[in-house]
């Protein structure tokens, strides 16, 4: 089990250095979207729009050679946090309504 714990720690540490899949990054070849990750090698494959042809090309980069413009993982977490916050506010509002309704009825 200690080996698995060590491996998990290594993966977690390396993942902190990498953009998430779907992240928008800046490369030497232009801006693109991260398509896949090679965690242990700390490399990413990026999908870049080919301006000369109407399509895309894929290229691998070391993580140190790309700059994160918009990380999909952090954006997703922020969206979930906002949704959770809205739900919590709605529940609190309903709870206040129930309390006020009970007070008016002498409960």
What are the pLDDT digits (tens) for 79-104? Answer: 667 777 788 888 878 877 777 766 55
Shared domain check, 59 and 7: yes
pLDDT at 77 exceeding the cut of 60: no
State the total domains in the chain.
2
Shared domain check, 80 and 52: no
> What is the average pLDDT across 68-85?
70
Decide: helix, strand or coil at residue 50. Answer: strand
Mean residue pLDDT of the chain comes to 82
Shared domain check, 61 and 17: yes
Residues 6+ apart with CB under 8 A from 68: 19, 23, 24, 25
What are the pLDDT digits (tens) for 25-51? Answer: 999 999 999 999 999 899 999 999 988
Nearest to residue 40, comparing CAs of 58, 71, 6, 14?
Answer: 14
Shared domain check, 52 and 77: no
Say what the pLDDT of residue 104 is: 58
Shared domain check, 10 and 43: yes
Give the residue numbers spanning the domain of 93: 71-107
pLDDT at 2 exceeding the cut of 70: no
């Amino acid at each position: 089990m200690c080996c698995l714990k060590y491996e998990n720690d290594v993966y977690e540490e390396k993942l902190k250095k990498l953009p998430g899949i779907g992240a928008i990054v800046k490369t030497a070849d232009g801006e693109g979207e991260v398509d896949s990750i090679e965690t242990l090698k700390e490399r990413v494959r990026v999908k870049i729009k080919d301006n000369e042809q109407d399509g895309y090309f894929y290229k691998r980069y070391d993580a140190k050679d790309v700059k994160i413009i918009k990380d999909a993982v952090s954006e997703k977490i922020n969206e979930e946090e906002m949704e959770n916050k809205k739900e919590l506010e709605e529940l609190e509002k309903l709870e206040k309504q129930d309390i006020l309704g009970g007070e008016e009825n002498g409960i």
